Chains A and B, each alone.
Chain A
Amino acid sequence: MTRLDRGGLVDRSVVLSFSFDGRRMEGHPGDTLASALLANGVRVVGHSVELGRPRGVFSAGPEEPNALVRVGADPMLAATTVELYEGLAAWSLRGKGRVDPHATDDRRRDKGYLHCDVLVVGGGPAGLAAALSAGVAGARVILVDDQPRLGGDLLNSRVRLDGARALDWVALVSARLASMPDVRVLTRTTAIGYYDHNYVVAVERRPRGERLWHLRAAQVVLATGAQERSLAFPGNDRPGVMLASAARAYVNRYGVRPGRRAVVFACTDSGYEAARDLRAAGVEIAAIVDPRPRAGAEELAGQVVTGAATGTGAEIVTGTVTGTGAEIVTGTVTGTVADADGLLTEVLVGDRRFEADLLAVAGGWNPVVHLFSQSQGRTVFDEEAQAFVPGVSAQAERSAGACRGRYGTAEAIQDGYAAGCQAAQPTGKRQGGGFRVPETDELPLRPPAALWVVDPLSTDAFADLHRDVTVADLARAAGTGMRSVEHVKRYTTAGTGADQGKTSGAVVAGVMSALLGAAPGQVGTTTFRPPYTPVSFATLAGRDRGALSDPVRTTAPHASHVARGAVFEDVGQWKRPRYFPLDGETMEQAVLRECREARTGVAAMDASTLGKIDVRGADAGEFLDRIYTNMYSTLRVGSCRYGVMCTADGMVFDDGTTTRLADDHYLMTTTTGNAAAVLDWLEEWRQTEWPGLEVSFTSVTDHWAMVAVAGPRAREIIGLIAPGAEELAFMTYAATSVLGVDGRVFRISFSGELAYEVNVPWWYGRALWETVLDLGAVPYGTETMHVLRAEKGFAIVGQETDGTVTPQDLGMSWLVSKRKPDFVGKRSHARPDTARDGRKRLVGLLADDPAAFVREGAQIVGPTGPMLGHVTSSYLSAALGRSFSLAMVRGVAVGDRLSAVSGEAAVPVTVVEPVFYDPGNTRRDGDPDARAVAGRVEGCRRESPAAAFAGRFEAAGSERVRLREVPFVRMWEVHGVDPGVGLRLGPDWWLVTEDTEERPGRVDASGGAEERPGWVDVSGQRTVLELTGPGALDVLITGCPIDLHPAVFPGHAQTLLGKAAVLLERFSDPEGGYRIYVRSSFATYLAEWLLDALEG
């Protein structure tokens, strides 16, 4: 064991047992895996990726290129970044991670969204000072630091502030920060990315899983410190060769002796500090090798002795430097010697040899400019510091302390105070400043040696330890003609290792400058790319996994479909029943049965997913004329009309029926997949092209549940649930009572049979569905719907069309108005290629063998020549007793004999008209004998969208946070004139709710509002989930990107929560709370999301 008896920040009273390559070992709280391995005498942690050379711990931080291990489910971690815990099992690697397919990983990932005035990155002297001064100035501050405790490099050093331990000062500042309500300190949190508009992403390591923070700051202070670097000398990769700052950290912070006898290679004065601290820990200093002129070295070496003394209170050593054994050699390390295991045994300095098992290298300091560089700031090479430092800021950002070359503790603190004050200026409520900078016992630092490489041709002087890149490899790259460090990086792989170039970047730049005879500043570094430290895929995914990976949208009757054993298909985010198999039925059998019922009896489909848009205004008809290819301004009130709309380049975009409810009032239906796109499309044209038209749009897709009742006997059922509506003429509609509630019945047919589309508000959708089935309708799904419409030759957008098909191509010229001067896409139809003959057209295909089935996607070829088109739809038809297909084919006529090729099969087919069933539309009015039975079915149970969750909501509640649904809130959307009540959603858009219960402080003052003309009833469009309790805010910040700070949040806002669009309303309950208005079809997703969040 090389653990020291005392000193450091590890808790020796507690023993943690862990294993490495199966060997059982012990460590303490406060250890990293690396320090624990060193304490257990482990010198070789792994082997290198290309050459298989033994490698040991090289650093004490995230820059580690050597000590890479597999830990449980983690394929590859740097041992220097892993906090030790009881039972940790680590395995050595050969430079590559290993994915364990059997590893179990039940850690919980989460995300968080926070906003602040000042974000401080780094909790060292500069960062602490910045956070304090910004906090005192009254700014909202977030301080992130990657270590378990604040202090930064002060944790590793023995520097004294005002004669006391530096950590006393850290404790003082930490306590003051903790006392400020608007200062949030996140430890174990690494800022990994700095993006546009001061957006910083950070990873918090929590025992039960990582949290990915998204931080938006008005001002950013970077206090990310500096990392020591090595330099390229032969044998610089031996186990035992370590950064001097790391050796210092191991003795001071972890109480571990990294070696018995050390040589310190001091290209910079921090090497002397390391020598001092190592010596104080009982490490014999064989020599301090300093390539710089001797001036000042003795004084520093003296510091090694006396400093050591004062530092430890051990016996005072007097005498000369040499007398202490710490001989100062002016020169450079020229090589190392290793034993049979590859462990360091000797250090060569020219012709001198020093026996040593530790070579502590202080090659110089690299300010950590990664985040600055990611923020698009340009780094500049500082000749004095021999390092790249931040240049001009590109964002509202400033660097402070060691990350801009202010290495001294006192000057870093001073720099931090100033940066914090400046950052708080724009938002600060109070005047900052006036902070006293403590006295330190540090000596002024001499400039580092401008030394990067000892032997430019050496084949074992490594520039990149992880990728095994030597200076000889770099020389070879330069020899090929490469001048750019980016080329060299790619040619040699230098800088692409697990340490992301942290230890190699500056060395490579230095070596290349020597090779190319240019200054390092001219050579430059490769770009610093996010993330700053590696981040697991799971952490980036957060909670968007499995069922929550994308919202599942469901309809009001969904639970009934599940209970009935429906097989679903995904259509956009919707789950739609594809077919309803009875016991043991295959899909083919089920679909044939469903089709037969629809053609001979009566069947029903849940059509609720169809997009529904309420269109109002004096110019509604004119607007629709411009959007659709056909006329709507001439449509009679109460009538329905099928229409197609095109994109500007004339291709079919969407279709559906639109009904005129009143002179200035239409209801448009869209395809399921395009509902949102069409609504956006209408808004775009209204707002950006035709602002003069008086028309407004309201989505009522979720408000109206829709059941299509089809079949010759449909009249019987309609007569019972909506008496009178059964007599509706084809393509007309009636607003009528359905099961005793206000509903709408449209007589529209997508099957050729007598059919009605019955609409009731969401709350009654499930009851309507179940009633219709109870009355004898057979449920059918999308597959049957597809077959029925195909038999009639009706095209489906997205199946017959693919973004390259015009209405004319679909044989719908009759639907393209010749009278209208213009409509969207009209001009494109006249382009040479679009207007030409011989384009692909929709045709029917019949296989010569009625039993032969042509696969959808089959390509059509003639006797000779190229492909003529493809099969878009293909089914077995119960009505036809054979297979049939629709296809888009060019240059063919009815009767042509072609071949449909799919895989190995080529099926002979004949072109027919694309209407296979009842071309005369004789079945449209159904079975004349099937009259409505007298009587009516009344009363229907209502159900709110989240009703099924009541129990789980109750159970998930705690005194910190409670969740419930506020069901059946009546709501109206209002466009145009300010109703004077309700929540304003947009410039001329309001949501008025009938306040079922008064809540103190609710913004919406529309208590007991009554519907007024022009208000659109959207009561079923959304439901309300209520989140109350002191913990409510903590739940919301895991998925809501906006600033919810009471001082900033306006009281209500439309935004995102998880992946659902919501209206968020805060009310000042005694303990505070929120109402979340969510689309009814998203209620299940959001309920699951919130329940999951409550577990966090």
Chain B
Amino acid sequence: MLLIDCPHCGPRDENEFHYGGQAGIAYPETPATATDAEWAEYVFLRDNPKGWFDERWFHVHGCRTWFTLRRHTVTHEFWKAP
């Protein structure tokens, strides 16, 4: 049970959240002009690194805020700014 630091509610248990996968995936400016490959990349391709990963969380059972955290996918520790 991860302890996730919600920017509004503070540290809460993982099961109060929904996982949102990789952060920073921008919706294409003009989907109509995107090639099939470009569109497929937006819809389906996400990074899957072994190590630090910027990912989204949604505090579904709390303040209902979407936010981004950096987490290590092996140790599961969250990044703390030095």
Measured CB to CB, the residues of A under 8 A from B are 195-199, 214, 216, 376, 394, 648-649, 680, 683-684, 687-689, 821-822, 826-828, 831-832, 985-987, 989, 1041-1042, 1053-1056, 1061
Contact = CB atoms under 8 A, between A and B. Distances in A.
| Shortest Cβ-Cβ A-B pairs, 6 listed | A986-B63, A827-B31, A197-B3, A687-B66, A1041-B13, A1061-B61
A688 B66 contact: yes
B56 A688 contact: yes
B71 to A, nearest CB: 10
Contacts of B46: none
Interface string B1-45: 111000011001101101010000001101110101001101110
B70 to A, nearest CB: 15
A449 B32 CA distance: 76
B61 A1054 contact: yes
Given A648-B43, A1041-B13, A1054 B27 contact: no
A832 B34 CA distance: 14
Contacts of A216: 3
B20 A684 contact: yes
A216 B30 CA distance: 47
Contacts of B27: 689
B20 A986 contact: no
A989 B59 CA distance: 13
Contact of A986 (B34, B65, B75): B65
B65 A987 contact: yes
B62 interface: yes
Contacts of A197: 1-3, 76-77
Given A689-B27, A827-B39, A985 B1 contact: no
B52 interface: no
A987 B8 contact: yes
A138 to B, nearest CB: 21
A171 B29 CA distance: 72
B75 A394 contact: yes
Nearest to A626: B27
A376 B40 CA distance: 38
A828 B39 contact: yes
A1053 B9 contact: yes
Contacts of B63: 985-987, 989, 1054
Given A197-B76, A1042-B12, A683 B34 contact: no
Contacts of B16: 1041, 1055-1056
Interface of B: 1-3, 8-9, 12-13, 15-16, 18, 20, 27-28, 30-32, 34, 36, 39-40, 42-44, 56, 58, 60-66, 75-77
Contact of A684 (B13, B39, B66): B66
Nearest to B27: A689
Nearest to A650: B43
Q: Which of B12, B18, B44 has the most CB of A within 10 A?
A: B12
Contacts of B44: 649
A668 to B, nearest CB: 17
A937 B56 CA distance: 52
A739 B16 CA distance: 40
Given A680-B60, A683-B58, A987-B65, A826 B31 contact: yes
Given A648-B43, A680-B18, A827-B31, A376 B75 contact: yes
A785 B45 CA distance: 41
Nearest to A985: B63
B65 to A, nearest CB: 6
A851 B66 CA distance: 54
B50 to A, nearest CB: 15
B61 A827 contact: no
A822 B31 contact: yes
Contacts of B31: 822, 826-827
Contact of B1 (A195, A828, A1053): A195
B6 to A, nearest CB: 10
B32 A822 contact: yes
Q: Which of A196, A394, A689, A831 has the most CB of B within 10 A?
A: A196
A987 B66 CA distance: 11
A376 B75 CA distance: 8
Contacts of B43: 648-649, 828
B32 A827 contact: yes
B32 A821 contact: yes
A1058 to B, nearest CB: 12
Given A1055-B16, A1056-B16, 20 more contacts: A196-B1, A196-B77, A197-B77, A649-B44, A680-B18, A683-B58, A683-B66, A684-B20, A688-B66, A822-B30, A827-B28, A828-B39, A986-B64, A987-B63, A989-B63, A1041-B13, A1042-B12, A1053-B62, A1054-B61, A1055-B62
30 contacts: A197-B76, A197-B77, A199-B1, A199-B3, A216-B3, A648-B43, A680-B18, A680-B58, A683-B64, A684-B58, A689-B27, A821-B32, A822-B32, A826-B31, A827-B28, A827-B32, A828-B39, A828-B43, A831-B39, A985-B64, A986-B63, A987-B65, A1041-B15, A1041-B16, A1042-B12, A1053-B9, A1054-B63, A1056-B16, A1056-B61, A1061-B61
A831 B32 CA distance: 11
Contacts of A684: 20, 58, 66
B37 to A, nearest CB: 10
A1035 B18 CA distance: 27
A153 to B, nearest CB: 32
Contacts of A196: 1-3, 76-77
Nearest to B10: A1050
Contacts of A1053: 9, 62
A1011 B62 CA distance: 24
Nearest to A1041: B13
B2 A827 contact: no
A648 to B, nearest CB: 5
B67 to A, nearest CB: 9
Contacts of A827: 28, 31-32, 34, 39
A684 B20 CA distance: 9
Contacts of B77: 196-197
Nearest to A647: B43
Nearest to A697: B64
B60 to A, nearest CB: 6
A1081 to B, nearest CB: 16
Contacts of A687: 65-66
Contacts of B15: 1041, 1056
Contacts of B60: 680
Nearest to A197: B3
A539 B70 CA distance: 35
Nearest to B44: A649
Contacts of A1056: 15-16, 61
Nearest to A214: B1
A832 B32 contact: no
Nearest to B42: A648
A304 to B, nearest CB: 49
A1054 B12 CA distance: 10
B18 A1054 contact: no
Contacts of B13: 1041-1042
A673 B22 CA distance: 27
Contacts of B61: 1054-1056, 1061
Contact of A1055 (B8, B12, B32): B12
A820 B7 CA distance: 36
A574 B52 CA distance: 40
Nearest to B28: A827
B58 A986 contact: no
A1054 B8 CA distance: 11
A649 B31 CA distance: 12
B68 to A, nearest CB: 9
Given A195-B1, A197-B2, A199-B1, A989 B32 contact: no
Q: Which of A197, A214, A831 has the most CB of B within 10 A?
A: A197
A314 B58 CA distance: 71
Nearest to A648: B43
Contacts of A1042: 12-13
Nearest to B3: A197
Contacts of B20: 684, 688
